[in-house]
Amino acid sequence: MAEIELTHLHKAFDEFVAVRDTNLTIHEGEFFALLGPSGCGKTTTLRMIAGLEQPTSGSIRLDGEEVARIRPARRDIAFVFQLFALYPHLNVQDNIAYPLRSRGVPAGERREQVAEVARILRIEHLLRSRISQLAGGDRQRVALARAMVRRPRAFLMDEPLGTLDAEMRAAMRDELRGLHDRIRATTVYVTHDQMEAMSMADRIAVMNGGDVLQAAPPMELYLNPATLFVAGFVGSPPMNLLEAEGHREAGGDVLRLRAEGTPAVAAPSLPGGLPAGPLVLGVRPEHLRVGPEASLPATVYGAEYLGSHRILTLDSPAGRLRARVSKDHPAQAGDRTGIGVDPRQAILFDPSTGSALNRMAGAPPLPDAEGGPHG
């Protein structure tokens, strides 16, 4: 098992910058997710760690050893592909044994090691099957077995659940995490599905446009998004983002929403006071108060019943908002009601840079600041 350290890693394809000057440290035994929309550079980052892509500049260290210029086979890393990349002309047994064969492991030893990973992944009964006979989930298990069989220093997974159906994906999520808890292998997991990243990873790096915007544990990412993009990408429904304006007034700083005829909103307290000028107020759907007594007038546009809770879609002068309320909440579509914001559970963003200006009150302290976008 190994620590993976990326420093000033940069990759450009002609004019297009796929990964921009990235610094990340993935700790030994960590389940680390790279999360972002397609084209954000997450897969390119993963492929550079594997050696399938040459970085334009920067370094990749595996346990302190510089590997950026050595070929994939020498890095002793396993890669699980989205399409599994199982050889159709070989059966399950031979597919799993393939990495051992390419390294010249003798047949007897091969069989033993294959049997062992097959036992861990509970696919012993499939060893004689052809790949084409397997269901999606089993193919994924075989692909994992092939990755695990030679005990690599780290696992790299590129959307390994991307082609499975929703039910199988949820089951495999638990299985993958359970497997990781047992073997404790350093794992880098690429996905565009925030649910997947949030549910499995110890730490998540959110990427967009080639930049790592924030690398943090799921809870920190959720409560204290470092940028507007992270706030909008993580969470379902995502954080409500309201255009607002800061005013420095004699009686104290006032935060007003951009829309006409809206009341002043209680602002989160910032160390340097509220900056004057445009701001964005971010509030998670579960932190909005919905009721006629609240100050911002709104109309209920839609109400989804989700069993354990309800999601209300509200039209207010400040725009369309989503609120997560209890399953017994009385609001119905068409009702006129009000929305209230708790300043301790809101985050202000600077719209010009996109970065957050405060941390949510009551959120746990940062475990370590390292791995962030700017050092």
Question: What is the token pair recorded at 196?
Answer: 């997947």
102 contributes a contact to other proteins by CB under 8 A: yes
Which one of 36, 99, 225, 297 is in contact with other proteins (CB under 8 A)? 99
Task: Note whether 282 and 231 are within 8 A (CB).
Answer: yes
What separation in angstroms does the CA of 49 have from each of 63, 102, 296?
Answer: 13, 21, 49
Closest separation between CB of residue 81 and other proteins, Å? 4
Which one of 6, 19, 40, 98 is in contact with other proteins (CB under 8 A)? 98
DSSP state of 45: H
CA dist., res. 92 & res. 102, Å (int) = 16
17 contributes a contact to other proteins by CB under 8 A: no
SS3 355: strand
Helix and strand tally (H, E) in the chain? Answer: 9, 20
Question: What is the token pair recorded at 232?
Answer: 């909008």
Which strand (E) or helix (H) includes residue 348? strand 346-349
CA dist., res. 289 & res. 321, Å (int) = 12
Is 110 or 287 the residue whose CB approaches other proteins more closely?
Answer: 110
Is 88 or 362 the residue whose CB approaches other proteins more closely?
Answer: 88
Which one of 64, 89, 250, 293 is in contact with other proteins (CB under 8 A)? 89
Is 84 or 229 the residue whose CB approaches other proteins more closely?
Answer: 84
CA dist., res. 147 & res. 141, Å (int) = 10
Tokens 């839609």, located at residue: 302
Nearest of 178, 192, 186, 107 to residue 147 by alpha carbon: 186
Which one of 70, 83, 171, 366 is in contact with other proteins (CB under 8 A)? 83
* Residues in binding contact with other proteins, number by CB under 8 A: 23
Question: What is the token pair recorded at 29?
Answer: 């035994």
Which one of 69, 87, 109, 135 is in contact with other proteins (CB under 8 A)? 87
56 contributes a contact to other proteins by CB under 8 A: no
Closest separation between CB of residue 309 and other proteins, Å? 41
103 contributes a contact to other proteins by CB under 8 A: yes
Q: What are the DSSP calls for 8-36, one per residue?
A: EEEEEETTEEEEEEEEEEE-TT-EEEEE-
SS3 211: strand
Closest separation between CB of residue 270 and other proteins, Å? 48
Is 104 or 307 the residue whose CB approaches other proteins more closely?
Answer: 104
Which one of 52, 168, 170, 259 is in contact with other proteins (CB under 8 A)? 52
Is 99 or 373 the residue whose CB approaches other proteins more closely?
Answer: 99
Nearest of 6, 42, 36, 10 to residue 24 by alpha carbon: 6
50 contributes a contact to other proteins by CB under 8 A: yes
Closest separation between CB of residue 144 and other proteins, Å? 13
73 contributes a contact to other proteins by CB under 8 A: yes
122 contributes a contact to other proteins by CB under 8 A: no
For residue 37, how many other CB atoms are within 10 A of its CB?
13
E-strand stretches of 238-276: 240-249, 252-257, 264-265
Respond yes or no on whether the N-terminal peptide bond of residue 237 is cis (omega within 30° of 0): yes
Which one of 78, 207, 239, 267 is in contact with other proteins (CB under 8 A)? 78
Question: What is the token pair recorded at 15?
Answer: 């004019």
266 contributes a contact to other proteins by CB under 8 A: no
248 contributes a contact to other proteins by CB under 8 A: no
Q: State which of positions 140-199 bind other proteins (CB under 8 A).
A: 146, 150
Is 80 or 288 the residue whose CB approaches other proteins more closely?
Answer: 80
71 contributes a contact to other proteins by CB under 8 A: yes
CA dist., res. 323 & res. 304, Å (int) = 10
41 contributes a contact to other proteins by CB under 8 A: no
Closest separation between CB of residue 146 and other proteins, Å? 8
Closest separation between CB of residue 315 and other proteins, Å? 47
Closest separation between CB of residue 52 and other proteins, Å? 5
SS3 96: helix
Q: Which residues bind other proteins (CB under 8 A)?
A: 50-52, 71-73, 75, 77-79, 81-85, 87, 89, 98-99, 102-103, 146, 150
